[in-house]
Structure 1
Amino acid sequence: MSEKPEPVDYTYTPIGTIHSPFKDIVGMPIQPTGARGIRGTIEIRSDLKGGLADLERFSRIILLYSLHRCTGYSLKVSPFLDPTPHGIFATRSPKRPNAIGFSIVRLVGIDDCTLTIEDVDILDGTPLLDIKPYVPAFDSYPDERSGWLGAVAHNAQHAKSDDRFQ
């Protein structure tokens, strides 16, 4: 019988800060599809500027960030699009054991250490952990099952956040 490994704590240093028009969680779009055309910026740390080389050649980027305003977590939640409780790992709820969020946004431009982005569904001042290029050939699987979200995902375009996950 194998022993259960001890949990390891990880520390991440933000690579920058995401800025958006959303100063409060209440009323924010819940997914980038509901934030079409909403602009924001990302300020990348100056010591990491070299890592932006060639990024301008991508039209979309994946942002991984800290859900820094969330406290605690729940293993079952009633997400924004369905009043039925679901296991946290079957949702995109921010109340997670590791409060890490991700969004796929449009990259509008890069000026020095500032990225201009669109389709922003992220709270102003959010610490950015990483950027990855979005590659349709790698990241898009449109014919796959999407569980309970399949019946309600189209509602994300109009749904707004409330205070249930603060």
Structure 2
Amino acid sequence: MTGITFTPIGTVHSPFRDPRDMPIQSIGARGVRGTVELDPAYAPGLKDLTGFSRIILLYHFHRTEGYALEVVPFLDKVPHGVFATRAPRRPNAIGLSILKLVAVEGPTLTVEDVDILDGTPVLDIKPYVPAFDAFPNERAGWLARSMEDARTVRSDDRFC
């Protein structure tokens, strides 16, 4: 395989400066406000985004190094394959969060439910469409027994 190169289109600004003790999922960050500051060259790509209440933000876990194919995730005490988790130390350190879109002003998005480290490079933005993106009755594997804990569990330094 050949390498793939991504160029960030912007940066996340959030109240979280240290990866320790931050929410591990956006459900645990309800109401936490932040911004996504795009490079102004990409601002025309935001046209019509205000019609959506949520966005899918794809970003680079820029503070992780290396990866492990088996990890002990925040919501369990036993190892799982990294692809059965949302752990940040992955072969391609790409994160995904579904955020509430509050406002679009020029190249800046104001968002809520931010569970992302300040300064995180943004790779892409997609609209969240409930009819396409929500499958509430599907299986959640090992997470089924601990999903509610995502509201209160905080990160630590295991993936730094």
TM-score interval for Structure 1 and Structure 2 normalised by the shorter chain: over 0.9
- Aligned-residue offset at 1:60: 0.2
- Aligned-residue offset at 1:30: 0.1
**What's the CA shift string for 1:101-125, capped at 9, x where partnerless?**
0000000001111110000000000
- Equivalent of 2:21, from 27, 33, 36? 27
> Hey, what's the Cα distance between the residues in 2 that align with 1:34 and 1:8?
37
**What's the CA shift string for 1:21-78, capped at 9, x where partnerless?**
0000001000000000000001111111110000011000000000000000000000
Read off the aligned partner of 1:57 and give its amino acid letter.
Answer: G
**% same residue:** 62
Name which one, 1 or 2, has greater alpha-carbon Rg. 1
> Hey, what's the Cα distance between the residues in 2 that align with 1:48 and 1:158?
35
Determine whether 1:117 maps to 2:111.
Answer: yes
Q: Which runs of 4+ in 1 moved over 2 A?
A: none
> Hey, what's the Cα distance between the residues in 1 that align with 2:101 and 2:2?
34
In the other structure, the counterpart of 1:141 is 135
> Hey, what's the Cα distance between the residues in 1 that align with 2:87 and 2:44?
33
In the other structure, the counterpart of 2:96 is 102
- Equivalent of 1:151, from 126, 145, 152? 145
- Equivalent of 2:71, from 68, 73, 77? 77
> Hey, what's the Cα distance between the residues in 1 that align with 2:135 and 2:144?
13
> Hey, what's the Cα distance between the residues in 2 that align with 1:143 and 1:40?
30
> Hey, what's the Cα distance between the residues in 2 that align with 1:13 and 1:77?
28
- Equivalent of 1:14, from 1, 4, 8? 8
> Hey, what's the Cα distance between the residues in 2 that align with 1:33 and 1:111?
25
- Equivalent of 1:62, from 52, 56, 70? 56
**What's the CA shift string for 1:80-106, capped at 9, x where partnerless?**
000010000000000100000000000
- Equivalent of 1:160, from 150, 154, 157? 154
Q: Which runs of 5+ in 2 are unaligned?
A: none
In the other structure, the counterpart of 2:34 is 40
Paired positions, count: 160
In the other structure, the counterpart of 2:81 is 87
**TM-align CA RMSD:** 0.4
